[in-house]
Amino acid sequence: MTTTVITNISSLVTNDPALGEGPLGLIEDAALVLDGETVAWAGPAAQAPAADQAVDAAGRAVIPGFVDSHSHLVFAGDRTAEFNARMSGQPYKAGGIRTTVAATRAATDAELSANVARYMWEAMRQGTTTFETKSGYGLTVEDEARALRIAAEHTDEVTYLGAHIVSPDYADDPAGYVKLVTGEMLDACAPYARWVDVFCEKGAFDGDQARAILKAGIAKGLQARVHANQLSYGPGVQLAVELDAASADHCTHLTNADIDALAQGNTVATLLPGAEFSTRAEWPDARRLLDVGVTVALSTDCNPGSSFTSSMPFCIALAVRDMLMTPDEAVWAATAGGAAALRRTDVGRLGVGARADLVVLDAPSHVHLAYRPGVPLVAEVWRKGARTV
């Protein structure tokens, strides 16, 4: 394999405290050596070993590629009218999902796959190198299975979300739909998925239904994650911790007991500020979580209804401005935090042995991601040791 040294890096975020300063493992005047698809060395530029080829970062900052651990990219259609109404004063309701369900069912496989590719490329241009995405806009056995099959063509991080809402076909029989989700639909979907998820919320699935759905997925070999406590207080967060789910996502409405559970468990709190921005909802209290030692991730929640953004830099800026995170905390949450939410150790960092996923910023420091919101600072993106952007 060809080795590459990237030198003249103004500041390098490794997320490895053994390599540099603080939780970010920050190294000033740094270099990074790639050996094929992996990181072989990171440290001060003056100590960099020789390599087959050299790349000059020209005094720019380098960070790990973003890890977006929560998105909904297998969909068709558009919900501009819903967004416009919401911005005109109408409240957000989960039922808008049904609009996307109808459009997704009507779309061809090719159209859905092209949409996934389009939004993943859009995200990669903004620094995202690891993607999770879900089903949830089909809500029939056939449509959920094809959504996951299509998602699996684009990413290894695929989540079965047949329990997004009760299918309109089962509006009068939610128990029957839970039986379908935990039975025939799960059997058809499990071969394509790594994760099982459920929207545990008023208007979707209650705690008992969510527990049954997650346990059925776990029994099939899937790992759990939960849409929890987005629109109201509820059992989702504590259920996620009880079942050792990798993440509880949204975490907008939390009691002290919810926070205690997260602090004592292994479940990551994944915060999705794009959803609050797009629905004018209350911001999650990231400061409250971080101050008691909860592991926090940031993700886009890219979906056509409540958070139609693929930009992790935008979410970082929101987290710093409106969720009271420091720039260091937000960058860590968007990289290493996302990796933790996917229970991955090979991404979200730039230590030895990590996958060589990195972002070169057109700025001298990672702090500029929050300092210069809305500015396209991503100059280069490398994935598995190859420059892709």
Region for 51 from its dihedrals, namely left if φ exceeds 0, alpha if ψ lies in -120 to 50, beta otherwise: beta
For residue 202, give every residue at least 6 positions away whose Cβ sits within 8 Å of its Cβ, in sequence order, or none: 231, 232, 234
Q: What distance in Å separates the CA atoms of residue 223 and residue 159, rounded to the nearest whole number? A: 9
Q: For residue 137, give Cα distances in angstroms to 72, 83, 148, 162.
A: 9, 18, 11, 8
Range list of β-strands (E), the chain:
3-12, 27-35, 38-44, 53-56, 61-64, 66-68, 128-134, 157-163, 195-200, 223-224, 226-228, 247-250, 268-271, 296-298, 358-361, 378-383, 386-387
Residue 126 pLDDT > 70: yes
Residue 91 pLDDT > 90: no
**Residue pLDDT, tens place only, 242-297:** 999 999 999 999 999 999 999 999 999 999 999 999 999 999 999 999 999 999 99
**Residue pLDDT, tens place only, 57-74:** 999 999 999 999 999 999
Question: Is residue 204 very low, low, confident or very high in pLDDT (cuts 50, 70, 90)?
Answer: very high
pTM for this prediction: 0.96
Q: Which residues of 252-290 are buried (b: 16+ CB within 10 A; e: fewer)?
A: bbbeeebbebbeebebbbbbbbbbbbbbebebbbbeebb
Query: What share of the chain in percent tops pLDDT 90?
Result: 95
**Residue pLDDT, tens place only, 360-383:** 999 999 999 999 999 999 999 999
Q: What distance in Å separates the CA atoms of residue 120 and residue 126, rounded to the nearest whole number? A: 10
State the sign of the Cα–Cα–Cα–Cα dihedral 334, 299, 256, 285.
positive
**Residue pLDDT, tens place only, 9-41:** 999 999 999 999 999 999 999 999 999 999 999
For residue 137, give every residue at least 6 positions away whose Cβ sits within 8 Å of its Cβ, in sequence order, or none: 72, 74, 75, 76, 97, 100, 101, 104, 143, 147, 164
Residue 71 DSSP label: B
Instruction: Work out the mean pLDDT of the chain and round it to a whole number.
Output: 96
In the prediction, which pLDDT does 222 show? 98
CB 275 within 8 A of CB 301: yes
CB 164 within 8 A of CB 136: yes
**Residue pLDDT, tens place only, 141-186:** 999 999 999 999 999 999 999 999 999 999 999 999 999 999 999 9
State the sign of the Cα–Cα–Cα–Cα dihedral 76, 82, 86, 91.
negative
In the prediction, which pLDDT does 86 show? 87
In the prediction, which pLDDT does 94 show? 53
Q: Identify the residue whose tokens are 């920050």.
A: 26
CB 139 within 8 A of CB 176: no
In the prediction, which pLDDT does 221 show? 98
Query: What share of the chain in percent tops pLDDT 70?
Result: 99
Residue range 294-305: mean pLDDT, rounded:
97
Residue range 227-251: mean pLDDT, rounded:
97
Residue 187 pLDDT > 90: yes
Residue 93 pLDDT > 70: no
331's tokens: 């960058």
Strands 378-383 and 386-387: antiparallel
CB 274 within 8 A of CB 318: yes
Residue 97 pLDDT > 90: no
Mapped onto helix, strand or coil, the DSSP state of residue 355 is strand
169's tokens: 């076909």
